[in-house]
Structure 1
């Protein structure tokens, strides 16, 4: 898979979670990428999802999305 297609897949996963009502709660970056933690509260119960982001473009994308949710 090309880097561009990998970026599109990662962007779609981020958008999917954001559209379902999740918010970015935390980010852990290391040499193997970024682990983005999403959180959603449903009936006083917190659900979390974690995505492993590999591409630099997707890192920029979730950074912009974090700024927008503030």
Structure 2
């Protein structure tokens, strides 16, 4: 899989969780990417491993816009 295709998959996974009402609660970055914890009001959690630089930029941008509005 190309890096772009991997990024598109990561972006789709993030967008799907956001559409389902999840919000980003915690980010743990390391040399293998970022582990992003999503949480919903019901207490449901999901963790995505974001490996691409563009994927990390994408969720960072979502966080920035969430906190600046």
Q: TM-score higher than 0.5 here? A: yes
Are 1:64 and 2:61 counterparts?
A: yes
Query: Structure 1: where are the runs of 5+ without partners?
Result: none
Count of residue correspondences: 67
Structure having the higher strand fraction is 1
TM-score normalised by length of structure 1: 0.92
Paired residues of 1:23 and 1:69 also in contact (CA < 8 A) = no
